[in-house]
Structure 1
Amino acid sequence: MSEQQESHPNPIGATVRGAANRRGPFRSGERVQLMDETGKMTTITLVDGGEHHTHRGVLAHELLIGQPEGTVVSNTSGIQYQALRPLLKDFVLSMPRGAAVVYPKDSGQIVTMADVFPGARVVEAGVGSGALTISLLRAVGDEGHVHSFERREEFAEIARGNIETMFGGPHPAWELSLGDLAEELAAREEPGSVDRVILDMLAPWECLNAVATTLAPGGVVICYVATVPQLSRVAEAMRADGRFTEPEASETMVRGWHVEGLAVRPDHRMVAHTGFLIQSRRLVDGAPRLAPKRRASKSEYTEEDLQAWTPVALGERVVSDRKLRRAGRDAASLAEHAARAQREIDEQARADEGQVRDD
């Protein structure tokens, strides 16, 4: 073994949570994305002795278990399937959900705009189905800390299952608290100890005082809201608070393109508006907020205006208890399969380590 290799005894980073289960051959318990000859995508969970049934034949899971990514296999009818592990963007759009997920185009912007760095201390509310939490955990790494607040226990359990499915088990940097962030944050985090705060909730302006108390000077707060009235109200609340910089608002649109020879054109369909991002930073106590002078405009809200921000008026969908229970069971089942695959990885790593010692 060379000197360089000795200085990096674990070059593939198997001890980093979620790294080992993104490499190597397919294992029982893993999620696999299949694409058939027509381009149709299907995500399945591999199990010993399992089969994937369609009206066009049966594909035995044993044809994939132990094979490398990028393998092409045929079912009983000769239909070919290309097999790859789902990327993060694929996983969050196919995982069990109770609440709507933050789309990949928005979570990528949030991680970048908030400058979520390795080792950062991040607070998030609410956790929803865990899509954004996964991106935050990947950004902070094992040595960081993501503290998620969720008011609904059903959503929290679905998120827990999805996160453990992605990482092969509990993530060492994640802490989940049930309750209202506005009421619980000050009791659970020291003043000025948090680097970044991400608010994905109906009324983020209700949490700004708690956020300002725990956010370190220079820290970033980003709110993800769905409607123009929400965007307006949280911006004015940040200005009125006085402890934040002038807020910046944006939305992200991603349009795919069809590229085949000389036939190059935009896709006919796109995921356009999903939500607005509004960002600000914590000022040191006593510092004035510097902002360009604006023309006088209406910034006070009447009682009629306030009624526009009720859940019903904003179009919040009511998720049935039956759907939540089903999503919770699905998430727990996928997490159990992922844990089984992770145990196989750990057992192989221990066997390899023992073999090296024997040699």
Structure 2
Amino acid sequence: MSDAAPETDAPAAAPATDAPDVPPEAWSGVHRGPLREGEWVRLTDQKGRRHNFCLEAGKRFFSNRGHLDHDDLIGREEGFTIPSSAGGEYLVFRPLLSEFVVSMPRGAAVVYPKDSAQIVALADIYPGARVVEAGVGSGALTCSLLRAVGPYGTVTSYERREEFADVARRNVHQFFGAPEGGSHPSWTLRLGDLAEELPRRGEGADRVILDMLAPWECVDAVADVLSPGGIVCVYVATTTQLSRVVETLRAHGGFTEPQAWESLVRDWHVEGLAVRPGHKMIGHTAFLVTSRRMAPGQRPPVKKRRPAPGAYGPDYSGPRPGDLPPGIELEGTDL
């Protein structure tokens, strides 16, 4: 046996704190390193209540648990706890994009992170893509699209209502840290109706995202600008909207069979042997529909499976697929 002294466990290495900051030209909306003046932070108290604010030297944050000084946060690495003057305790981090969009000021309802993630993944938003978005709402989805396309892609957002556009502009600039009077270089925000503006401008697109009241009215305009193989993704809230947009895409003939779905998110309570579904659930927020643009003059294969009996019966008044077999609309009726 060796007489060498037994090895002792080495102390755990401290996390690296000297990593360089994310390059500004990446336009990620993220910083590394110590918190600095002008950045936004997110405080979470012991009951899970959250507070977002911008760090300013010499200022104080006040709550029902007293106050704390911004100067006590500036210069520290995120991921620490800090007491307030009245005995409260707060966890301090920079806000994630998914946290920012659910707490930012709203003009219109936001696209929730669960749907933004689905859109970015299943509409295949990639670095360098040319993306058209309508409408912009409060800018939540816009932030995800801009991060996905990166500085070499483009996002062109159309919004009919000026007050919504103003809110979205402020939120996007806040998240990405745009300089005073500046904007994200990949983003263009336009006031106007997509159905009218797209044909007039004649700009091509690789992806089109529609979050609006009547997206079926834009299908022809979208088809004209979308590149072959490009994807249209539609975000709608109700089943009647879902039916209308899917059938309009089918009837157009220049898109693949639309795919429709929704996502539901349920958290879980995990505490020892007490493992059960959480009491809160993010249920229905919207339906998503995706379809790909065919090449000019090409049509998708005729569906082999017949529609359900009565699907296009006398009570149905929407668009009808061009390949609908004769007499199918009478199936399931007494006629």
Question: TM-score range, shorter-chain basis?
Answer: 0.7 to 0.9
Residues 1:229 and 2:240 aligned together: yes
8 A contact 1:27–1:65 mirrored in 2: yes
Letter of the 1:145 counterpart: T
Distance 2:94 2:230 in 1: 35
8 A contact 1:12–1:20 mirrored in 2: no
Name the SS of the counterpart of 1:267 in structure 2. strand
Distance 1:143 1:150 in 2: 23
Query: CA 1:51 to 1:13, structure 2 compared with 1: closer, same or farther past 3 Å?
Result: closer
Q: Determine the structure 2 residue equivalent to 1:253.
A: 264
8 A contact 2:21–2:33 mirrored in 1: no
Letter of the 1:68 counterpart: E
Distance 1:103 1:297 in 2: 35
Shift of 1:16: 2.8
Distance 2:236 2:259 in 1: 13
Q: Pick which of 61-70 and 271-280 moved more.
A: 61-70
Distance 1:115 1:228 in 2: 24
Query: CA 1:254 to 1:30, structure 2 compared with 1: closer, same or farther past 3 Å?
Result: same
Letter of the 2:161 counterpart: R
Q: How many residues align?
A: 295
Distance 1:231 1:243 in 2: 19
Instruction: Describe the superposition over 1:257-306 as per-residue Cα deviations: whole angstroms up to 9, x where unpaired.
Output: 11122211110111100000011010112212223432354448979989
8 A contact 2:20–2:33 mirrored in 1: no
Distance 2:296 2:124 in 1: 22
Instruction: Describe the superposition over 1:180-236 as per-residue Cα deviations: whole angstroms up to 9, x where unpaired.
Output: 00000122243xx21000000010000000000000011000100000000000011
More helix by proportion, 1 or 2? 1
Residues 1:55 and 2:68 aligned together: no
Which structure 2 residues correspond to residues 107-186 of structure 1 after superposition, within 5 A? 107-169=116-178, 170-186=183-199
Q: Determine the structure 2 residue equivalent to 1:22.
A: 31
**CA radius of gyration, larger in:** 2
Distance 1:45 1:176 in 2: 25
Instruction: Describe the superposition over 1:20-53 as per-residue Cα deviations: whole angstroms up to 9, x where unpaired.
Output: 7422211222221112233322222222221111
Instruction: Describe the superposition over 1:87-142 as per-residue Cα deviations: whole angstroms up to 9, x where unpaired.
Output: 11110000001100000000000000110110000000000000000000000000
8 A contact 2:82–2:89 mirrored in 1: yes
Q: Pick which of 92-101 and 30-39 moved more.
A: 30-39
Which structure 2 residues correspond to residues 194-209 of structure 1 after superposition, within 5 A? 194-209=205-220
Letter of the 2:52 counterpart: T
Instruction: Give the alignment partner of residue 45 of structure 1, picking from 54, 69, 72.
Output: 54
Query: CA 1:264 to 1:16, structure 2 compared with 1: closer, same or farther past 3 Å?
Result: farther
5+ residue gaps, structure 2 = 1-18, 320-335
Q: What TM-score results when the alignment is normalised by the length of structure 1? A: 0.78
Root-mean-square deviation (CA), in Å? 2.1
Query: CA 1:103 to 1:20, structure 2 compared with 1: closer, same or farther past 3 Å?
Result: closer
Residues 1:294 and 2:303 aligned together: no
Instruction: Describe the superposition over 1:65-94 as per-residue Cα deviations: whole angstroms up to 9, x where unpaired.
Output: 111101221111232211001111110000
Distance 2:75 2:112 in 1: 32
Structure 1 segments (4+ residues) deviating >3 Å: 10-13, 17-21, 296-306
Query: CA 1:237 to 1:305, structure 2 compared with 1: closer, same or farther past 3 Å?
Result: closer
Name the SS of the counterpart of 1:279 in structure 2. strand
8 A contact 1:17–1:171 mirrored in 2: no
Distance 1:18 1:261 in 2: 42
Instruction: Give the alignment partner of residue 292 of structure 2, picking from 277, 281, 286.
Output: 281
Distance 2:314 2:39 in 1: 51
Shift of 1:63: 0.8
Residues 1:268 and 2:270 aligned together: no
Name the SS of the counterpart of 2:282 in structure 1. coil
8 A contact 1:21–1:168 mirrored in 2: no
Distance 1:301 1:149 in 2: 37
Shift of 1:238: 0.5
8 A contact 1:254–1:271 mirrored in 2: yes
| Percent identity over paired residues | 56
